[in-house]
Amino acid sequence: MRKSRYLVLIAAIFFISAIFGASHGKFSQNITDEETQKKYNYYDNPQVCLGCHIEKFEMWKTSQMSKAFTGDFFQAQYNKLAIVDAGRDEKVKGLKAGCIGCHSPSAYKAGDYPPTPTSPEKIDSFWNQKGGIKLFADRGVFCDFCHTIENFEGKSPFNHNYVSNATPEIDPKRGDLEDPWSPYHETETSELHADAKFCGICHNELNDFGVWVKATEIEYQDGPYPSMDIACQTCHMAPIAGKPAKMGPVRDENHGHWFGGGFTGFVEGAAKITINIEGTDLKAGEKINFSIKVHHLAPGHKFPTGASEERDVWLHVGVYDKEGNELDHIKIPRNPDDPNDKYFITTNRKVAYPTHSRYSEPIERDSLPEGDRLYHSAFIDSDGNFTYAQWYATKDIENRLEPLEEKIEQYQWTVPDKLAGQTVVLRAVLNYRRMPDSYAKFLGIPTRPTLEVSRDERLLEISK
C-alpha cells in the first residue's frame, strides 16, 4: 500500500515536471494558468501574419519593436532593477505592470506580470539579432497588437492608454488602406494608424512623480512637422514599392516596418556641425576663439529623444596630426553662471546611480573623454542625485537639440608650443551612443558602439 502510494507520487511528479518542461520548451514562458494562456492567444502570433505579409514580417523582426521584451537591455533593467524596486518600494509598486504595458502589451492584457524572464538563449543582444518567431510575452510589440488597437483613452496618448480588445475570434485588422480585402481576416479602416497620436500611446511616458520621462510625440507636436503633414510614419515607416500582402495589389501605401531609430542609417546626418574660425594661420602660444554650430536637421523631435537619459549625443573637438593621432583635446569651457552646466559636460566621476541613490552605488556617469559638450537628459532623483532609473526621476534637466535648432558652442584654445612648425587638423565630431559603457557593464550586457552623426575639419598652419 505504502509502496503504491509512493509510486503514485513519483508518477505525479513526473507528470507535473513533464508539463512544466513541455510548456517551458514549447512556449518559452512558464504560463501554467490556462486562462492567461488563452488571453495571450487572443492576439495572433506574428508568424501567422508571415504567410501573407512576408515583407512586413522580415522588416519587423529586425526592428527594436520585435525586441521590446527580449532585448538584453530591457531584460536586465526590468528584471534586475525595476521589479526589485517594485517589490521593496510602495511608491513604485506599479512598475511590474507599468513597463510591460508598452514593452509586452499582450502580457499586460493577459494580466501576466511580471512575465517569466526570456530564457538566456532567446535574449536578443544588440550584436546578436534573433529571428522573429516568438510566443507569449517574448513577442514584444508585434503585428496583431498594433493592428488591434482601436483608439486611446482620454484626450491625449501616453502611458499605454490604448483601447485594444482582442477576442477568441479572429479580430479585424486595422490599417489605412483603401478597399483592402483579405481571405484570413476582416479589415477596418483606422485613421489613427496614420496619425502621430498612435505612436504617442507608447512614446509618451509620465512617471509616478509627474515627470515626462519620454515625450517624443509631445516634442513632435511642438515642432514644425505637424503643420507640414509629416507624421512619425512618414519618416519611420516610409512607403516602399510593392504589395502590402502577397495576394493583394501593388500600392503606394506599402509602409516600411523597420522602425529605424537610434541606429547608423538614421543617426548619420541627424544633425550637422560646422566649425567657424577666423584665420587658419596661427602662432604657437597664441590664444584663439572659435565656435561650432550644431544644427538639428533630420529628426521630427528633439535629438536625442525617447530614452534620453541613456542616449548620449556629444561633441568631441581636438587637434590631430595627419595620421589621426590626437595632439590636443579642446574642452568646452565651463559656464560659471549655469549651475546645471555640469550635467552637459562629460565626466567620469562616479555620480550616476543605476536606480535610486538610496538603493545603489554610483557608477561612472559617462565613460567618455572628459570635457566634451553633452546633449541629453539628466534625471534627478528625490535625493538630488543623477539616476538612470526613469521611474525615480523627480526632475529632468536637459539641453537636447530642438527640431531645426542651431546651437553655437564657443571654444577657446591656446596653441601649444609643441605644435610650432606643423600643419595640423582641427576636427569636431558629433557622436551618438545608445547607453554609457559603465551602465552596460553594470547591467552585465555588451557595450554599444559609438556612431558618428557629423564631422567638420579645418587645416591649421602653426608657425613659431
Which residues in 48-87 contact ligand HEC (CB under 6 A)? 48-49, 51-53, 56-57, 60, 64-65, 67-68, 71, 73-74, 77-78, 82
For the segment 87-116, give every residue that binds ligand HEC (CB under 6 A): 95, 98-99, 101-103, 105
For the segment 283-302, give every residue that binds ligand HEC (CB under 6 A): 298-301
Please give the grid coordinates belonging to residue 272. Answer: 550637422
**Is residue 254 part of the contact set for ligand HEC (CB under 6 A)?**
yes
**Is residue 392 part of the contact set for ligand HEC (CB under 6 A)?**
no
**Is residue 117 part of the contact set for ligand HEC (CB under 6 A)?**
no
Nearest approach in angstroms of CB 462 to ligand HEC is 36
CA angle 309, 310, 315 (to 5 degrees): 95
- State the Cα–Cα distance between residues 161 and 127, nearest whole angstrom: 32
Nearest approach in angstroms of CB 9 to ligand HEC is 41
Q: Positive or negative, the Cα torsion across 274, 277, 280, 282?
A: negative
- State the Cα–Cα distance between residues 6 and 93, nearest whole angstrom: 43
For the segment 24-53, give every residue that binds ligand HEC (CB under 6 A): 44, 46, 48-49, 51-53
**Is residue 235 part of the contact set for ligand HEC (CB under 6 A)?**
yes
**Is residue 445 part of the contact set for ligand HEC (CB under 6 A)?**
no
Neighbours of 179 (CB within 10 A): 7
**Is residue 175 part of the contact set for ligand HEC (CB under 6 A)?**
yes
**Is residue 440 part of the contact set for ligand HEC (CB under 6 A)?**
no
**From candidates 123, 237, 380, 393, binder to ligand HEC by CB under 6 A:** 237
**Is residue 443 part of the contact set for ligand HEC (CB under 6 A)?**
no
- State the Cα–Cα distance between residues 40 and 137, nearest whole angstrom: 8
Nearest approach in angstroms of CB 350 to ligand HEC is 21
- State the Cα–Cα distance between residues 254 and 243, nearest whole angstrom: 6
**Is residue 270 part of the contact set for ligand HEC (CB under 6 A)?**
yes
User: Cis peptide before 117, with omega less than 30 degrees from 0?
Assistant: no
Q: Cell 602653426 appears where?
A: 462
Listed residue (158, 156, 174) closest to 166, CA to CA:
174
Is the Cβ of residue 46 or residue 318 nearer to ligand HEC in the bound state? 46
Is the Cβ of residue 353 or residue 391 nearer to ligand HEC in the bound state? 391
**Is residue 439 part of the contact set for ligand HEC (CB under 6 A)?**
no
Q: Positive or negative, the Cα torsion across 73, 79, 81, 83?
A: positive
What residues contact residue 450 under an 8 Å CB cut-off, 6+ apart? 431, 432, 433
Is the Cβ of residue 8 or residue 228 nearer to ligand HEC in the bound state? 228
Stretches 23-31, 235-243, 318-326, 330-338: which one binds ligand HEC (CB under 6 A)? 235-243
Do residues 308 and 435 make contact, with C-beta atoms less than 8 angstroms apart? Answer: no
Task: Give the interface size with ligand HEC as a residue count (CB under 6 A).
Answer: 97
What residues contact residue 21 under an 8 Å CB cut-off, 6+ apart? none
- State the Cα–Cα distance between residues 186 and 145, nearest whole angstrom: 15
Stretches 214-222, 325-333, 336-344, 407-415: which one binds ligand HEC (CB under 6 A)? 214-222
For the segment 135-164, give every residue that binds ligand HEC (CB under 6 A): 141-144, 146-147, 159-160
- State the Cα–Cα distance between residues 219 and 224, nearest whole angstrom: 10
What residues contact residue 6 under an 8 Å CB cut-off, 6+ apart? none
**Is residue 203 part of the contact set for ligand HEC (CB under 6 A)?**
yes
Nearest approach in angstroms of CB 383 to ligand HEC is 19
Phi-psi sector, 384: left (phi>0), alpha (psi -120 to 50), beta = left
For the segment 418-437, give every residue that binds ligand HEC (CB under 6 A): 434
Nearest approach in angstroms of CB 203 to ligand HEC is 4
For the segment 329-388, give every residue that binds ligand HEC (CB under 6 A): none
**Is residue 184 part of the contact set for ligand HEC (CB under 6 A)?**
yes
